Amino acid sequence: MSLFGTDGIRGLANVDLTAELALDVAVAAAHILVENSNDRPRAIVGQDSRASGEFLEAAVVAGLTSAGVDVYRVGVVPTPAVAYLVASTGADLGVMISASHNPMPDNGIKLFQRGGEKLADEVEALVEARIGEPWQRPTGAAVGRVISDDQLVNKYIEHLLSTIDVSLAGLKVVVDCANGASSFTAPVALSRAGAEVIAIANTPDGWNINDGVGSTHLDYLRNAVLKNGADIGIAHDGDADRCLAIDATGAEIDGDVIMAILAKGFKAQGKLKANTIVGTVMSNLGFMHAMAESGIEVVTTAVGDRYVLEAMLQSDFNLGGEQSGHVIMRDHANTGDGLLTALQLLAEVKRSGQTMQELSRVMVRFPQVLINVKNVAKERLATSIAIADAVKAAEAELGSNGRVLLRASGTEPLVRVMVEAQSDAVAQSVATKLAQVVETELR
């Protein structure tokens, strides 16, 4: 089984993801990603707020410097900050230590190549193949040095602010930082953009990341929005590459709605390349219909923002993303960026003169039920005849008014069963039946 999942390496820290593995991955990544460096190779290394990130960062830094790479440690920062800094400083690679929205005991390693892009599957395979191989170690002045520079993140904040051309003055915004990587950037950036900011879950202690807060636990943000009479709530995940929202009434604004709003806004400003947006197979049918009604084409990819980016790069599209809140704006970033998305969404609210609730009417969301069938042999999903037959029967039942998607998680031992239909009852019924088949066949 591959070491790399949908979004880097991820697992239980100190069990699946050990200091030894982190060091070996860092060495292998250095060998692959700096082979053609014309100068002394440099890396940007950041982390989210997990306690395990401390020993994993030490291991990654040790591996890189032992391979002759100078390391710039930027501390607790969002994943997209590392991607941006790799690109803007001309670094040879970047490493982000984070398990994103996963619970605190997990951690992960995300790698970025020159230009700040995530690694393609084939490059990840090359890195994995070179883990543990014999190599000639540099000595003396050829070993890497460590430079701690927590001010580099200011360049990232300034970049974000440069992407909007309207003041956010007059907007009252609650931002849920998930006690994670955005705790020290989101409140600053939103305030500097002119908004009145109420920051919550912005006191990370190493153990409280994603603990009942952030983009996977929206009730905490919803309550704060309603209590404070805010115009909008913004929710990030642990490493701040996602953005979801809550409007003033407490209604959820997911990634599909955010993308629909941005796509229409970009098109109105003449900024949407080829009148096309890139989504994934998880994009809601309502999103598809809304884009068609607006004369915007949708290209779909596999789930994962790196696959979205690959499609965008291949055809030079500049907007894409996922229902989960990963949104990529290639004019400004090479990866999903939750804070960039928040700023652009808030700018659209100001530019349009409409409330978030009014803007969200851009699409009518088809009821969607997602069931995670846990602790199953996900690798057998593609070969199960019984599951394939159950899916065909479900599709026949739904007809053109719904759809079914089953996929194995790239980061966890589970299968995701997704069903869309014209009513919640039908979607729930079909999804429940399919989930039971999956559980029976893959246990």
Q: Output the 3-class SS for the chain.
A: CCCCECCEEEEEECCCECHHHHHHHHHHHHHHHCCCCCCCCEEEEEECCCCHHHHHHHHHHHHHHHCCCEEEEEEECCHHHHHHHHHHHCCCEEEEECCCCCCCCEEEEEEEECCCCECCHHHHHHHHHCCCCCCCCCCHHHCCCEEECCCHHHHHHHHHHCCCCCCCCCCEEEEECCCCHHHHCHHHHHHHCCCEEEEECCCCCCCCCCCCCCCCCHHHHHHHHHHHCCCEEEECCCCCCCCEEEECCCCEECHHHHHHHHHHHHHHCCCCHHHEEEEECCCCHHHHHHHHHCCCEEEEECCCHHHHHHHHHHHCCCEEECCCCCEEECCCCCCCCHHHHHHHHHHHHHHHCCCHHHHHHHCCCCCEEEEEEECCCHHHHHHCHHHHHHHHHHHHHHHHHCEEEEEECCCCCEEEEEEECCCHHHHHHHHHHHHHHHHHHHC
**CA–CA dist 128, 211 (Å, integer):** 32
Q: What's the residue count for the chain?
A: 443
Q: Are 68 and 37 in contact (CB under 8 A)?
A: no
Residue 329, number of CB atoms within 10 A of its CB? 21
The residues near 139 (Cβ < 8 Å, ≥ 6 apart) are: none
CA of 304: how far to CAs of 145, 148, 313, in Å? Answer: 34, 31, 15
Query: Which residues are tagged catalytic?
Result: 100
Residue whose tokens read 């291991």: 59
Closest CA to 176 of 146, 153, 198: 198
Angstrom distance (rounded) from CA 428 to CA 119: 37
What span, in angstroms and rounded, lies between the C-alpha atoms of 114 and 33?
A: 8
